[in-house]
Amino acid sequence: MRGRAVLIVEDNPQDEMLMLRALQKSNLANRIEVVRDGQQALDYLFAEGEFAGRTGGLPAVVLLDIGLPRLSGLQVLERLRADPRTHLLPVVILTSSDEEQDRFTSYEHGANSFVRKPLEFAELAETVVRLGIYWLLVNEPPV
């Protein structure tokens, strides 16, 4: 599992930098890929658009923000679950939203987990490391 990437879908540069640093420091993933909007996420996962010809398969887990440009995280999730190539891909909604409807809709659309981003940077880093440990080392994927 360590050879597979973690895909971070995040439009906030500060959160992105902190998550990258936390995952790199913990040595949990060989590759960490980052895209900054919903359309880029779909293009990456389906090897289309600017990612046409990308090789390496699907990531081990997608850390997906809800409030993204172009396509929301919920729209991305809905498309991932509708496609047989990605319907089992682990997706963690990692968001600052505290809206109960976002949580409900995330699970309704097939999210594997819904995690609120802590406001403190140190807590966010710890949360990302815990997610990495679970999804990369503890969880046993279906394929």
Interval 68-103: pLDDT, tens: 999 999 999 999 999 999 999 999 999 988 899 999
CATH number, domain containing residue 98: 3.40.50.2300
Whether the per-residue pLDDT at 1 is higher than 60: the answer is no
Q: Per residue in 68-105, is it b (16+ CB within 10 Å) or e — as a string?
A: beebbbbbbbebbeeeeebeebbbbbbbebeeeebbeb
Domain that holds residue 120: 6-138
Q: With CA atoms as reference, report the closest residue to 69 among 17, 9, 109.
A: 9
* CA separation, residue 136 to residues 10, 23, 62, 76, 129 (Å): 19, 11, 11, 22, 10
Q: Does residue 1 sit within a domain?
A: no
| Domains held by the chain: number | 1
Q: Is residue 66 part of a domain?
A: yes
Average pLDDT over residues 9-32: 88
Q: What is the pLDDT of residue 27?
A: 83
How large is the average pLDDT for residues 8-18?
93
Give domain status of residue 143, yes or no: no
Alpha carbon distance 19, 57 (integer Å): 22
pLDDT exceeds 60 at position 40: yes
Residue 29: the pLDDT is: 67
Percent of the chain at pLDDT exceeding 90 = 71
Average pLDDT, the chain: 91
In angstroms, the CA 83 to CA 134 distance is: 25
Tens of pLDDT, residue by residue over 93-131, are 999 888 999 999 999 999 999 999 998 888 999 999 999
Residue 100 placed within a domain: yes
